[in-house]
Structure 1
């Protein structure tokens, strides 16, 4: 069997999307392509974002390959499955444009939360709920109704919606060799705002043991699991050999697992720097010093609220006081020598604005960057969605969440990394408007 994996050239015009817009390694496609190849099938990876390919060139490559399966994600990179563009405009465009007799497969956070809506909107034959790597290669060998996470429209028009999510055993994700990927075209160093170099995104662990109120990970990448350290080191050495000197770990939460210290000790011996997202309450002075020795240059910490009451309301399960959090953030910057330490805040009624400003000013005086508190997007599948709307996601969940989020802003209040005149999902997904672009 032949599998074509396509990472679209993503567009965010008019979107409320607040993630990074630069290209990132499509690890979900790289891992799936590797599993397909290991199972004796033929994969083709086309990364239109990284390689700056026009849609016509993507169509040509897929047509020439003549695949049995065409796989397209609904969001850019695993890193942004937690905060995806709410609309499906881009995958809809690609599924419509690529003329093929192949079985069309859509993966991603939208498919995990609202599989019937994704089938309808994209015209895909199959969507996969959860982590897709295992399910994708099983499509060639098993009856679809027996595969975890696989949802599709039967011949009589009825829907088969898998009652389970696809979950991957991380030990089966053997080291990527990147022989099918244009590493040299990828210059972006994620979450680094100074200097020069060449970056890569890798994955050490998947999932998170916490269940924060706002976090969108329950329907994919939920249970915490580590990959073997040797596999990560093999990937790090592979990208270093091709000119990479910075690795960003896409993990939901870096610093939890039992093998983190071992990994950091090995990284400290290599000519590479690292960055990641984490919780500051996972670290102390000794482990922050280890981060410094491991050449950490970017550390983004989810603080969310400056009060214990606010963090409790968000179900952070944080056992540190705000004073201790402050101490460690400053230590990471000034003593451990991490150049970029960031503290992220979320809008909560438990925090006084004047107190927030004082806390921000104090940390900024020590060189720690602090975000402005931002409203939460109630992503379908997150605890926030269920508590906001009192129900599980239905086929209108993304539109409902998007409308609610838009109502929290006045014109001009949007983040500087968002579109200042965002449009409704209906407008963004309009076939007529997309054809006119």
Structure 2
């Protein structure tokens, strides 16, 4: 039986707490398929370091850096090279090193200059990891493999890429299989007991897919079909978590209320199993009656992004579905909808967070063109939130171009190109890795330290050209 090493990289700049779910999910898939010699090494654990990884690779047959995010590419680049050097010292250079997660999006440039990474795994890994493991186990894994989802450079220097198909049935996966709880990383301060003590927090996904394609979201180029976890599997996993001392659950899904009947059933199960919980949805997919139902069933947190309130911005970023006429109608109604939902949050007793994205593009109404939002545009949205919505929290983000999103991927995008550092050219993974950006001559904006106030923007992240350090400071100062 082959030994498989799953490595989770450190996330230096995080907007919110949470676990690297890829490690237990992939380990569970492998275990279910008979691959029981799987070691999970999450480098965010205080008791785990690269020395532990180097120790385990001495007899590993496959090394997978799992659940990697694009902003982690500098750390991934460094640590995969360390692993590769160690394998070479052991005369085991044949052992594949795979990198999976959103970090594998738009990866062609990095793949060309990173020969020590065997392949990148793009898309959902639950089925792909089994194909890779079977191939390694049968000694047939090579650059010529046809495994769906692998991206790599072949021996002739040609880049190959495919996207793994979405997994429609994930009922048999234990999403917390072998997970070692890290309180300072996994627990979320939105979940507290009545006496103010932090509750042990788990994450679960009960659905995959989002019917909307907001251009700034790194899931906007994925399938819009929604697949759901069965009630039986959900209840079984909650009971396992309860036995392990968990008291709170964050449902890490895109739009919790996308199906009314399904969300009510999940809320009821969470209540029956004795958990407090929270999740995410859209402002145009929730109302007071639904909020009250959630609160009655132990919901203490529900997040949704406002992004902006100007109709011109909402049209430019692709916030809504439907015909242009329908989108315009939704955009014009949006500010009133935002105000109403925040008022209803207060009535329901749910804490509210007014989340704004700075530096978005906006449509020139009456023209077929776009331009960057101005300082006053953003301040108008912020003032609207403070004065009309009276939120408990105010959150700023800056438009960041994440590979996998419409904003980053689409060449000459009519709206996003006017605020994209690369103009009409796509933003690729190489923009996030300094040595790649230097090699290919990419113009990456230098992110001032004040940008960290905008949801932990790191220094190697391509951000909107509409913003600069002075504008960020003045936005915060004038709020």
Give the TM-score category using the shorter length. 0.7 to 0.9
Match for residue 302 of structure 1 among 288, 299, 305: 305
Whether the 8 Å contact between 1:305 and 1:345 is mirrored in structure 2 is yes
1:48 aligns with 2:43: yes
Query: 2:30 & 2:407 partners in 1: Cα distance?
Result: 36
TM-score (norm 2): 0.74
Q: Is residue 2:24 matched to residue 1:30?
A: yes
Aligned to 1:431: none
Find the aligned partners of 2:131 and 2:55 in 1 and give their Cα distance: 27
Could you tell me which residue of structure 1 aligns to residue 377 of structure 2?
352
Q: By how many angstroms is 1:215 displaced?
A: 1.2
For residues 7-406 of structure 1, the aligned pairs below 5 Å read 7-8=8-9, 10=10, 12=12, 17=13, 19-20=15-16, 22=17, 24-42=18-36, 43-63=38-58, 66-73=59-66, 75=68, 81=69, 84-85=70-71, 88-98=73-83, 99-100=86-87, 101=92, 102-118=95-111, 120-121=113-114, 123-142=116-135, 145-154=145-154, 156-162=155-161, 164-176=162-174, 178-183=176-181, 188-190=186-188, 192=190, 195=196, 196-218=198-220, 223-257=225-259, 259-317=262-320, 319=330, 320-332=333-345, 334-338=346-350, 340-347=351-358, 348=360, 349=373, 352-353=377-378, 355-362=380-387, 365=390, 367-372=391-396, 374-385=397-408, 386=410, 387=413, 388=417, 389-392=423-426, 396-398=430-432, 406=445
Judge conservation of contact 1:51–1:182 (CA < 8 Å) in 2.
no
2:453 maps to which of 415, 423, 433 = 415
Cα deviation 1:41-81 (Å, max 9, x = unaligned): 23221122135412212322343xx2211000363xxxxx5
Is the CA contact (8 Å cut-off) linking 1:129 and 1:219 kept in structure 2? no
Larger radius of gyration: 2
Q: Structure 2: which 5+ runs fail to align?
A: 321-326, 361-372, 418-422, 463-479
**Cα root mean square deviation, aligned:** 3.2
Q: 8 Å contact 2:6–2:41 — kept in the other structure?
A: yes
Aligned residue pair count:
400
Instruction: Note closer, same or farther for the CA distance 1:403–1:303 as it changes in structure 2 (3 Å cut).
Output: farther
